[in-house]
Structure 1
Amino acid sequence: MNLKHLRYFWVTARAGSVAAAGNQLHLTPQTVSAQIKLLESDLGTALFKPAGRRLELTEAGRVALSYADEIFALGQEMVSSLRATGIPEHAAPVFRVGISDALPKSLIHRLLLSLRQLTKPVRLVCRDGAIETLLGELALHRIEMVLADRPMPAGLAVRGHSRKLGESALAFFAVPRLARQDVGFPACLNGAPLLLPGQNAAVRGEIDRWLGEARLSPRVVGEFDDSALMKVFAEAGEGYFPAPAIISDEICARYGVIELGRLDEVREAFWLISTERRVQHPEVRAVLEAARTAVFNIPVGGETAR
């Protein structure tokens, strides 16, 4: 699609007539009209219909206008961003990663350390958020990949491919003064204050199911979409909390807690989502290979995609 033709359509739709658009574009009405006809031919549908001296958008025209608004808004945003930052030509390329709030930050750090080993260094930009928001950013190519606790949900109008990086058993932690050393795990959770991941976390349903099957009744005193914030509350002695056992040593050292026990039957998975069916982006491949070998100790082999 020719963006020049799209711009003539966009200006005409906003101006209300070909003559008004021609004045804004410093072109003759005949030139503007001919360019719009070419766009309609490319799209295979009419975008305008006559309405007296003005033009009225068809249903297809209204859809096209909504996309054109976003396309040209993004173009202006790009120009403004480049002018504001003044990025020199020799600067390292930017690599943008979307990170689900539910993921442990120390695990993300371990996954992204692989980017330091690249032949061509990159400037890393990390964006936290809900997975639905991040997938929207991925669809608009505002980020290059998403790290999440689940694969891309079915039914989204986003073209993406999910690859499982690995998984970990779940462990429970608490500060020493709160931990009940006289009661074994998991019985120590009975009646204990408990901090849990929010309902949007993929592992939350598995935790609730396990507590019910084990007939345990802790006092849920907090729920957190942000896993880092949950650990800060736990560090202050507010309650027990679950986290991936694969980073148990880091959690204990950083937050002054002890591991009470772990559950092999409840496992948390970690996923990489990108727009590529075959991983060609060197940064994405570096994270994928590092996850499988250095983090999860899985031999690099077939990729889980959907």
Structure 2
Amino acid sequence: MVDWLNYHHLMYFWMVAKEGGITPAAELLHLSQPTLSTQIQKLEKSMGVKLFERKGRAMLLTDSGQMVFRYADEIFGLGNELADAIRGRPTENSIRLLVGVPDVLPKLVTYRILKPVLALDERVKLVCTEGKLKDLLADLAMHRLDVVLADSPLTPELNVRAFNHLLGQCDVTVFGTAAMAKKYAKGFPKSLDGAPMLLPTQNTTLRRSLEQWFDDQDIRPEVAHEFEDSAVLKVFGQAGEGMIFVPTAVANDVASHYSLKQVGRIPEIIERFYAISVERRLKHPAVVAISQSARDNLFTDGS
């Protein structure tokens, strides 16, 4: 039982958790590694719990460590606000949501998933980091992110201690310019054989699903261009360079933003979207809002 909390020890723990290990934290704090390790051990002894567990060279937070880290983050965040207030600087009475967004995730899907946090009673400051899924998951494991959005679940081979939370699923809609829709809607999907298409790159879940569907339908498309960035792909689609494939959950947004027309819908391809967190049960109020709204609104009927 903790009778009195040593905030110096708590700050040392917080720095180690943020930096992902004793070595980088010791450098920032200008302390020796043995000294820092001793302070962490004293905190663990005073609390009666283990805060870290070693896995190879990595130091991973235990369940208790995760809880203590979140409290420490709020404590030292308030400390910074107090310092700003004393100096007469404006402070932000808000909670932060640190989100990892894979570069292959459609931007409109990302926006629609995150939009509900903007309507919460408590102000939320979004901090979005874009990158490769593997790198984002590494940051999540080090508690540099609260949640990672993804279009595929976390798999055991990635060796990250985290949990998948399915936000929802929908099928896929094909879009093109008005001229393309007029030409290829009739006889869909066989009309797509030989048709110009703009496809996501090979490292995406959607591309793999599309190639399987093309094969099942005996369709040989003309792959005009390939894009990793979904927003750039849509701009080329708007310019008439080829047809595009988008999650039906954002079909209306795509139609209005890019002045495109629906060519057809592919119920055989199902796109799934996940929130990946280190928590088995979601606790961050903004992440809970994202999950609830996605299930209740965004992915209710896939349209």
The two structures have a TM-score, normalised by structure 2, of: 0.70
Equivalent position to 1:161, from 160, 163, 186:
163
Q: Return the match for 1:246 from 249, 260, 263.
A: 249
Structure-2 separation of matches of 1:141 and 1:106: 26
C-alpha deviation, 1:127, in angstroms: 1.8
| Equivalent-residue separation in structure 2 for 1:34 and 1:192 (angstroms) | 65
Counterpart for residue 63 of structure 2 = none
2:105–2:230 contact (8 Å) kept in structure 1: yes
SS at match of 2:143: coil
Instruction: State the Cα RMSD in Å.
Output: 3.5
* Structure 2: gaps (5+ residues): 1-8, 17-21, 43-53, 60-75
Aligned match of 1:302: none
5 Å-filtered alignment, 1:252-271, equals: 252-271=255-274
1:99 partner amino acid: V
Letter in 1 for 2:194: G
Q: In structure 1, what is the Cα distance between the partners aligned to 2:209 and 2:130?
A: 24
Structure 2 counterpart of 1:111, from 98, 110, 113:
113
Q: Shift in Å at residue 64 of structure 1?
A: 8.3
Aligned to 1:194: 197
The residue matched to 2:157 in structure 1 has which SS? coil
Structure 2 CA distance for aligned equivalents of residues 33 and 104 of structure 1: 43
Change (3 A) 1:159 1:239: same
Aligned with 2:238 (options 235, 238, 254):
235
In structure 1, list runs of 5 or more residues that go unmatched.
Answer: 15-23, 26-31, 43-59, 66-77, 299-306
Partner of 2:173: 171
What is the CA distance between 1:266 and its match in structure 2?
Answer: 0.9
Aligned to 2:220: 217
1:177 shift after superposition: 2.5
What do residues 91-115 of structure 1 show as CA deviations (whole Å, max 9, x unaligned)?
A: 4232111112232222222221211
State which of 275, 278, 283 in structure 2 corresponds to 1:280.
283
Name 2:150's counterpart in structure 1: 148
Aligned to 2:269, the other structure's residue is in SS state: strand
Q: CA deviation at 1:238?
A: 0.8
* Partner residue in 1 for 2:127: 125
What does residue range 32-181 of structure 1 map to in structure 2 within 5 Å? 63=57, 88-179=90-181, 180-181=183-184
Counterpart of 2:108 in structure 1: which amino acid?
S
**Which letter maps to 2:300?**
N
- Residue deviations 1:134-182 (CA, integer Å, cap 9, x gap): 1112112222101110111222232111011111111111111334157
Post-superposition Cα deviations, 1:191-247, rounded to whole Å, max 9, x if no partner, equal 111111111211221110110111111111222222111111111111011111222
Q: Residue type matched to 1:127 in 2?
A: T
- Confirm whether residue 185 of structure 1 aligns to residue 204 of structure 2: no
Check 1:124–1:63 CA distance in 2 against 1; reply closer, same or farther (3 A cut): closer
Q: 1:152 to 1:211 in 2, by over 3 A?
A: same
Which consecutive segments of 4 or more residues in structure 1 shift more than 6 A?
none
Match of 2:295 in 1: 292
Higher deviation after alignment, 203-212 or 113-122: 113-122
Aligned residues: 244
Work out whether residues 190 and 217 of structure 2, in 8 Å CA contact, stay in contact via their aligned partners in 1. no
Deviations 1:255-280 (A, max 9, x none): 11111111111111111101111111
182 and 254 in structure 1: CA distance in 2 versus 1, 3 angstrom threshold: closer
The percentage of counterpart residues that share the same residue type is: 34
Q: Structure 1-normalised TM-score? A: 0.69
Question: What is the DSSP-based 3-state SS (H/G/I as helix, E as strand, rest coil) of the residue aligned with 1:177?
Answer: helix
Paired amino acid for 1:120? E
Q: Compared with structure 1, are the counterparts of its residues 144 and 33 closer, same or farther at alpha carbon in structure 2 (3 Å cutoff)?
A: closer
Q: If you compute each CA radius of gyration, which structure gives the higher value, 1 or 2?
A: 1
